[in-house]
Amino acid sequence: MELMENDKRKLPAHISGHECTARLLPVKDALDILSGKWKLQIIISLTFGKKRFKQIQREIPGLTPKMLSKELKELEINELASRHVYDTSPVTVEYEITPYGKTLKPLIEELYKWGAKHRKRIIARK
Amino acid sequence: MELMENDKRKLPAHISGHECTARLLPVKDALDILSGKWKLQIIISLTFGKKRFKQIQREIPGLTPKMLSKELKELEINELASRHVYDTSPVTVEYEITPYGKTLKPLIEELYKWGAKHRKRIIARK
DNA sequence: TATACCGGTTTCCTAAAGTATACCGCTTTC
DNA sequence: GAAAGCGGTATACTTTAGGAAACCGGTATA
């Protein structure tokens, strides 16, 4: 990387291509974990505190128990959320965002900000 | 919103639920436009300068012409990218990121940063 | 004259994502 | 004793995303 960040004037394609690839890989990794209609929404819901299964489902319109169950499992595997079972009867289950999950906050914030602006733009032009 | 941002101690579920919904909508809007395996990667590629069709395809591993064509059309519709045809023979076509597309930069930056950290984490624990 | 590049399109296909609906055992409330 | 809430699972289905391969007319190159 001996090129200045903003000097793209005469970058040959095969050079800018390498720069580009370096950006692409991590983004792909992030996308792999976060993609899908529900995962980020679930994480956002958990951002507001521990939640129980049905509670999450109620907060996210359109989310079926099957999808919620599946997505929560994947979030657990990736250590973004944790599941806590309490020995009541019937059992009480709580889901919580993990410290690692919290590292997504800045990303979610940007997503929110962009989404909000985009929403305004769309509404404005109708 | 008469509640303090950080006072979640005794928020009843139906209140935090409303807060949550307010966050969810814009995020869904953003996701609708940006979701999928390729769109963000294409935008990132265009971040490094105008590109021609095959050039983009070469830079993004695994991207087929069919998908690229489809995604570029959607990006155009959403005014994130623009298409320029030059009257050479055969035609030369260039794709460029729009000013509106550039507003995605902070989001992409966060995605990159999180992805890079995640990548390290994954590699470290193997 | 054959090959390759350009900017795509077309067709066929599979795997994954997502939806709908019903159901389970257990418990509290009416 | 019926209904509803809990945390899910099971089954069946539709829809979408995405991939593989072939192909198009036009042009330049060897």
| Angstrom distance, A57 CA to C26 C1' | 21
Q: What is the pLDDT of residues B1-58, one digit of tens each?
A: 332 333 333 345 555 667 888 899 999 999 999 999 999 999 999 999 999 999 999 9
Residues 6+ apart with CB under 8 A from B45: A20, A24, B51, B56, B59, B60
- DSSP secondary structure, A31-79, as one string: HHHH-SSSHHHHHHHHHTS-EEHHHHHHHSTT--HHHHHHHHHHHHHTT
Q: Are A29 and B112 inside 8 Å of each other by CB?
A: no
What are φ and ψ of residue A4, in 5° steps? -70, 145
Q: In what order do the strands lie in the sheet with B81-86?
A: B51-52, B92-97, B81-86
> What pLDDT, on a 0 to 100 scale, did the predictor assign at position B15?
57
Contact B95, B76 (CB under 8 A): no
* E strand or H helix that includes residue B50: none
For chain C, which bases have at least one atom within 7 A of a protein Cβ?
5-11, 17-22, 25-28
Compute φ and ψ for B41, nearest 5 degrees: -65, -40
Q: Buried (b) or exposed (e) across B91-106, using 16+ Cβ within 10 A?
A: eeebbebeeebeebee
Peptide bond into A90 cis (omega under 30): yes
Look up residue B40 and give its two tokens: 């963000």
The answer to whether residue B15 neighbours chain A at the CB level (below 8 Å) is no
User: How close B91 comes to chain A (CA, Å)?
Assistant: 20
CA distance B55 to B102: 20
Domain B36-124 classification at class level: mainly alpha
Instruction: Give the pLDDT score at B14.
Output: 53
Q: What is the pLDDT along chain A (126 residues), one digit of tens a residue?
A: 333 333 333 345 555 667 888 899 999 999 999 999 999 999 999 999 999 999 999 999 999 999 999 999 999 999 999 999 999 989 999 999 999 999 999 999 999 999 999 999 998 987
Q: Give the C-alpha separation, A22 to B104, whole Å.
A: 18
pLDDT digits (tens, 9 = 90+) for B79-122: 999 999 999 989 999 999 999 999 999 999 999 999 999 999 98
Q: Architecture of domain A37-124 in CATH?
A: Orthogonal Bundle (1.10)
What does the pLDDT read at residue A70? 97
Name the residue with tokens 């489809």. B70
pLDDT, one tens digit per residue, over A40-59 is: 999 999 999 999 999 999 99
Residue A53 contacts residue A95 (beta carbons within 8 Å):
yes
Listed by range, residues with Cβ under 7 angstroms from strand D are A 52-55, 65-66, 69, 83, 90-94; B 36-38, 62-67, 89-90
Q: Where are the domains of chain B?
A: 36-124
pLDDT of A13 reads 54
State residue A3's pLDDT score. Answer: 30
Match 């050039």 to its residue by tokens: B55
* DSSP code, position B60: S
**What per-residue confidence (pLDDT) applies to B7?**
32
The answer to whether the CB of B81 falls within 8 A of the CB of B46 is: yes
- Distance (Å, rounded) from C-alpha A102 to C-alpha A97? 7
Does residue A40 approach strand C to less than 7 Å at its CB?
A: no
Cis before residue B90, ω within 30 degrees of 0?
yes
Instruction: Give yes or no for B114 touching A (CB within 8 A).
Output: yes
Chosen from B7, B8, B23 to mutate, greatest number of chain A CBs within 10 A = B23
